[in-house]
Structure formats: structure tokens, C-alpha cells
Amino acid sequence: MIKKGILGGTFDPFHLGHLMLLRESMKALCLDAAIAEPNLVPYYRRQPALSNEERLEICRLSVSGIPGVQVSDREIRRDSYTSTCELLRELRSAEPETWPVFIIGMDSFLYLHKWVRGEEIPEYGNLAVIRRPGSQLRPEELPPELLRIYEKYRSPDNAVRGPAGQIFFLDTPEMDISATAIRNLLRKRDFTAAREFLAPAALARIREIMEERPGIWDEPS
């Protein structure tokens, strides 16, 4: 059995906040590995400024040398968008020894019942929901569809007991950081400020990309 956390995202770019989520999830849930998995962005959504290959490369540079933290290109290599439910189902089939824990933010959890086959997701994998510092989940305020998911799968502790069927709610240290803010800093070429939020090797590669494509961050986020 391998307990594996999975953090999906556009990662445009991957930053230290993403890395913190992976490391804190590993620590809180005693995971064997934590995976950053760049999403394949559907054609009808705003496409990232960085290419698929660049997003993968910056993820890998950002986690290099950190024990247990890895990068997967499984989703980004696909020909078309695949729902989270289907991705977890495929993972369970391909890696029966893996107990996946899909990491999402509280803002995403509050819309879980509206995801494609959202109510089925905990049947194919576990979920780790990251609470923002100071935020509280109020079950009485949840819509009925989401309340059913919450009551059925909420875990009383942080012990991963199987490949699916648990939802964990985790607190993480406060870190005021967003990819939008980082893109704005890069647009202004404020690399000194951006250094606070990006791994040194990742920032160095981003600066190279900006030399190759000077207008990459010109479109406001």
C-alpha cells in the first residue's frame, strides 16, 4: 500500500504555496508521496501563459531534491480533458496498491457537488480539503447535495485507512500567495519580490522564458 497525495492545478506558474500544500498534506496524513500534477486545460478555458512543457519543467525544478515530492505528466499528456472522478478511477485500476488522496482547497470543496460526477469522487479516492487559516466549515450552511457528501465521507481523524471513502479537513500555515499576484510581479519584472514566492531554479527558468518571449505575461490576469 502506498499513500499518495495528488495536487492538480494549472500551475501557471507553480509556486511555494503549492509546494507548502504538498508538504503539509504529506505531514498531516503520513503520506508516502505527494504529487504535483499539472492539468490539461480545456480549449474553452483561458489557456496558461506557460506551455505544457514549461509548466512541467517549472514544477520539476521547484520540487527537485525534496524527499517524497514528485511531478506527474499523466494528465497533461492526454488528448482531451478528463474529469477528476475518471482520473481517480483510472489511477485505482492502473495502481491497485495506491491509496490516492486528492488535495483541493476549501473553495473547490464548496462546489464539489457541481463537479462532473462529484458525488462519486470519494468512491474512487480520498479527499484532503485545505482550510484557509481562520476559516470554518459550517455544515448547516451547506447545500443538501454537498451536506450528504460531507456527512457520508468526513473522516474523524487524519488516518488514511483505505484507497477511498474518506474526506479529511486540514489546516495549513498562512501564506499570502497566488499565481495571479506572481504573474503581476513578473509582468512588472519585479524579480526581487517574486523571489519570495518561487523556488530559485524555477525563477531562473522563468526569466529565461521571458527573454525568449518578452510579452508572455502582458495579458492581465
What is the homologous superfamily of the domain 2-171 according to CATH?
Answer: HUPs (3.40.50.620)
- pLDDT tens column, 159-188: 999 999 999 999 887 677 888 899 999 999
Strand order in the sheet with 167-171: 69-71, 33-38, 2-9, 98-105, 126-131, 167-171
The sign of the dihedral angle between the CA atoms of 212, 214, 216, 221 is: positive
Average pLDDT over residues 34-54: 87
Strand-pairing partners, residue 38, are 9
- Give the pLDDT score at 43: 63
Q: Is 12 exposed, middle or buried (0-12, 13-18, 19+ CB in 10 A)?
A: buried
- Give the pLDDT score at 194: 94
Average pLDDT over residues 122-138: 86
Q: Is 82 exposed, middle or buried (0-12, 13-18, 19+ CB in 10 A)?
A: middle
- Give the pLDDT score at 174: 65
Confidence category of residue 82, pLDDT binned at 50, 70, 90: confident
DSSP state of 154: B
Q: Above 70 in pLDDT, residue 220?
A: no
- Give the pLDDT score at 125: 95
45 or 216, greater pLDDT: 216
- Give the pLDDT score at 177: 81
- Give the pLDDT score at 137: 84
Q: Above 70 in pLDDT, residue 46?
A: yes
Q: Which alpha helices (DSSP H) does 69-219 contain, by range?
A: 84-94, 106-109, 121-124, 144-153, 179-187, 191-194, 200-212
Q: Domain map of the chain by residue range?
A: 2-171, 179-212
Going by C-alpha positions, the residue among 106, 76, 101 that lies closest to residue 9 is 76
Q: Is 123 exposed, middle or buried (0-12, 13-18, 19+ CB in 10 A)?
A: middle
- Give the pLDDT score at 172: 80
